[in-house]
Amino acid sequence: MIDIGDHAPEFTLPKAGGEAHNDIEPFELSTALGGGPIVLAFFPAAFTSGCTAEMCTFRDSMDRFEDLDAAVYGISVDLPPAQNVWIREETLNFPMLSDWNHDVIHDYGVVLPEMYGQFEAARRSIFVLDETGQVTYRWVAGEGTIDFGAVVDEVATAVEETANG
């Protein structure tokens, strides 16, 4: 798994913007770098209760990230059209990246190997990158109940330190 101080692995993924079912365009991490901190929030699957709670907590806190010129991206193995539906249903105000071929979850070392005992998905984890792509913060979910409000607060603090640091 990549760690604080590592350079984030480069990737290109489909980006779901949520405006329509076919609101999909390529996203290159290298192109996004340089405009402020980047938050990569990996989650197992759209439409599940825990993932919806996590992404809605980010949604409700987006002003904190925007004030720091930070970009937030959710990443899952869901296909982009499904992500677009979910974005619209939950009024999410940031895009989703589709790692449908599972390369990025392997590159970042955040594979949840047996979601529902059936298939590989992203392990709930968050990385903050500085403008050069260096990882300045990493959080990986452990066992038990997660206080998403506290996690997003911690991520926002890490983004602020990255932006000012």
Q: Where in the sequence numbering do the catalytic residues fall?
A: 51
Distance CA 39, CA 64 (A): 12
Distance CA 32, CA 119 (A): 30
- CA 47 to chain CA mean position, Å: 15
Q: What is the dihedral of CA 125, 130, 136, 141, to 10 degrees?
A: -10
* Three-state DSSP state, 125: strand
